[in-house]
A and B are shown apart, each in its own frame.
Chain A
Amino acid sequence: MAKIAFITPDGESVVVNNAEGNLMEIATYNEVEGIDASCGGVCSCGTCHVRVNPNWIDRLGDKTEAEIDMLDFQPGADERSRLCCQIEIGSNHDGLILEVDPL
């Protein structure tokens, strides 16, 4: 388990103390503003787009081809971008901060 935080497009922070498992599910369970997760996690909608601090990028696991492809077409996506639905959170992610992209 890890303590992580989402910063919503409005600048509010949503702190999750016992985060574990799929990051998209964590975000929707905690009703994080800006995470629609419309497709339910199959990597077809891009509505769970977040940015992470560059120091964290390597610790979030590799992107699948489907994610790379979705992000390629995501407006405003950059090298810090990830899709929550493709990330599994464990105890090694304590302190992770995620900036939510506006929908």
Chain B
Amino acid sequence: MSGCPYDPFKEHRKKGVLNAKLDGDEIPMILRHKDLKLRAKDWETYSSDAPFRVPIPAEEDVRTVRQLPLEVDPPEHTEYRAIAEPFFRKPLQADFIQKIENLIEELLYAIGNNEAIEIVSQFSLPLQSRALTYLLGVPESEADELISWGTHVFRTGDGKQKGAQMEAYINAWLDKAEENPGDDFYSALTQAQYRGRHLTREEMAGYCNIMFAGGRDTVINSVSFIMGYFAQHPDRLDQVRENPSFIKTATEEFVRYVSPVTHIGRVCPVETEVHGHKVKEGQRITLGFASANHDETVFDSPEEVRIDRKPNPHVGFGFGIHNCLGAHHARLIMRTLIKKLCERVETLEWVDAKENLEVEEDYTRTVSYESLTLKVQTKSLDAH
């Protein structure tokens, strides 16, 4: 296939929509940047009030709870989101930033002996899992359980079995938090007020469910991509070393280019039309973030990774009221990773990789690596 493997939508974008065969259905995917923003904003026509049906494929068979605050519209959404927001702002605090710096240094030195190492399982997955325990405010040893779930709880291996295992794990933590509250995420949920009442157990579990299912493969794939990218382009890492302001612009560019969430659905409560495609009441459309992030009318040479791209109005963290709650956390992990690669790594050598492919009937899209083998040589600790 010619063209950019991260953007299989280029030809379709000319028409504005791809009537994609997804999840046993035909679902119009919105492909252009501005068009996507308009529709992401219009929750009355394109609703998120649809338990299990916002992610595509739908998740009726892998979970029993509505994910919050993802699967709800305003005005309820505003209040549900406000409950979770403070926790997701923790990555802006100095002590949290320091913990992530220490974690990434530790993980880099653990693999930094110049022996071939598989990055996804030995670096990206533990990094995301351990960083998530900081966000949750639980002991770091809890990461072992999260690591055992793999890159995506529902989509790696037996999703039904792992989905049930995850719900049991969440409920055990919520039980503990109800009996003996601490300062962790679960305890905050047991104490939260929604419209003058406590949250129900189902609502609490709904917040936790997306915490584990939503922000994992996305961060893991972004981290792996960054490692692979700098192994293939050591000159670019030198450029960041010379100009540290590129840490932030490169992070945004990786989010744009990789677009770890290819698309996410909405359900139409009333019949509507999308670029000539009729969408019946109760049917879905999907917001094509990856395509919008490669829209050539917005981004010059979108098929190129430009670590200094600015402006870069990407929608890699979604757009509008449902934009990614974990964006602060994800940005901190990626920025710190790039910073530590600059500071602590002597050489990053490409060995081998297998791309992570999203294979659908109408398109195949690369999203980072399924496996990535590199040789990492860290600087001697004495040199600090």
Q: Do B319 and A39 touch (CB < 8 A)? A: no
- The CA of A45 and the CA of B248, in the complex, are separated in Å by 13
Also in contact, A42 and B37, with CB within 8 A (given A73-B319, A73-B320) = no
In addition to A39-B248, A66-B313, A70-B313, 9 A-B residue pairs with Cβ atoms within 8 Å of each other are A38-B327, A38-B328, A41-B249, A42-B252, A43-B312, A44-B252, A44-B311, A44-B312, A73-B320
Residues of A participating in the B interface, judged by any CB pair closer than 8 Å: 36, 38-45, 64, 66-67, 69-70, 73, 86
Residue of B34, B313, B319, B331 with most partner-chain A CB within 10 A: B313
Number of interchain pairs (Cβ within 8 Å): 53
Smallest CB separation, A43 vs chain B (Å): 4
B41 an interface residue at 8 Å Cβ cutoff? yes
- The CA of A73 and the CA of B316, in the complex, are separated in Å by 16
B309 an interface residue at 8 Å Cβ cutoff? yes
- By secondary structure, the A interface counts as loop
Also in contact, A44 and B249, with CB within 8 A (given A38-B328, A73-B319) = no
- The CA of A67 and the CA of B310, in the complex, are separated in Å by 11
Among residues 300 to 324 in chain B, which have CB atoms less than 8 Å away from a CB atom of chain A? Answer: 309-317, 319-320
Q: Do A42 and B320 touch (CB < 8 A)? A: no
Picked from B41, B249, B309, B311, the residue with its CB within 8 Å of the CB of A64 is: B311
Q: Do B319 and A40 touch (CB < 8 A)? A: no
Picked from B34, B249, B309, the residue with its CB within 8 Å of the CB of A69 is: B34
15 sampled A-B residue pairs with Cβ under 8 A = A41-B249, A42-B252, A42-B310, A44-B252, A44-B311, A44-B312, A44-B314, A45-B317, A64-B311, A66-B298, A66-B313, A67-B311, A69-B34, A69-B37, A69-B313
Smallest CB separation, A55 vs chain B (Å): 26
* A73 partner residues in chain B, CB cutoff 8 A: 37, 41, 319-320
B251 an interface residue at 8 Å Cβ cutoff? yes
* B309 partner residues in chain A, CB cutoff 8 A: 42
* B251 partner residues in chain A, CB cutoff 8 A: 40
* B319 partner residues in chain A, CB cutoff 8 A: 73
Residues of B participating in the A interface, judged by any CB pair closer than 8 Å: 34, 37, 41, 92, 248-249, 251-252, 298, 309-317, 319-320, 327-328, 331
* A41 partner residues in chain B, CB cutoff 8 A: 248-249, 310
Picked from B249, B298, B317, B328, the residue with its CB within 8 Å of the CB of A42 is: B249
- The CA of A44 and the CA of B311, in the complex, are separated in Å by 8
* B327 partner residues in chain A, CB cutoff 8 A: 38, 45
* B298 partner residues in chain A, CB cutoff 8 A: 66
Q: Do A40 and B249 touch (CB < 8 A)? A: yes
* A69 partner residues in chain B, CB cutoff 8 A: 34, 37, 313
* A64 partner residues in chain B, CB cutoff 8 A: 311
Smallest CB separation, B307 vs chain A (Å): 11
Closest 3 A-B residue pairs measured CB to CB? A40-B248, A43-B311, A66-B311
* B315 partner residues in chain A, CB cutoff 8 A: 44
Picked from A38, A40, A43, the residue with its CB within 8 Å of the CB of B313 is: A43
Picked from A38, A43, A86, the residue with its CB within 8 Å of the CB of B331 is: A38
Specify the chain B residue showing the minimal Cβ separation from A69: B313
Q: Do B313 and A42 touch (CB < 8 A)? A: yes
- The CA of A86 and the CA of B309, in the complex, are separated in Å by 14
- The CA of A38 and the CA of B320, in the complex, are separated in Å by 14
Smallest CB separation, B362 vs chain A (Å): 28
Smallest CB separation, A30 vs chain B (Å): 15
* B320 partner residues in chain A, CB cutoff 8 A: 73
* B252 partner residues in chain A, CB cutoff 8 A: 39-40, 42, 44
* A43 partner residues in chain B, CB cutoff 8 A: 310-313
- The CA of A53 and the CA of B319, in the complex, are separated in Å by 28
Residue of A36, A44, A67 with most partner-chain B CB within 10 A: A44
* A66 partner residues in chain B, CB cutoff 8 A: 298, 311, 313
* B317 partner residues in chain A, CB cutoff 8 A: 44-45
* A40 partner residues in chain B, CB cutoff 8 A: 248-249, 251-252, 331
* B249 partner residues in chain A, CB cutoff 8 A: 40-42
* A36 partner residues in chain B, CB cutoff 8 A: 92
* A42 partner residues in chain B, CB cutoff 8 A: 248-249, 252, 309-314
* B313 partner residues in chain A, CB cutoff 8 A: 42-44, 66, 69-70
Residue of A36, A41, A42, A70 with most partner-chain B CB within 10 A: A42
* B312 partner residues in chain A, CB cutoff 8 A: 39, 42-44
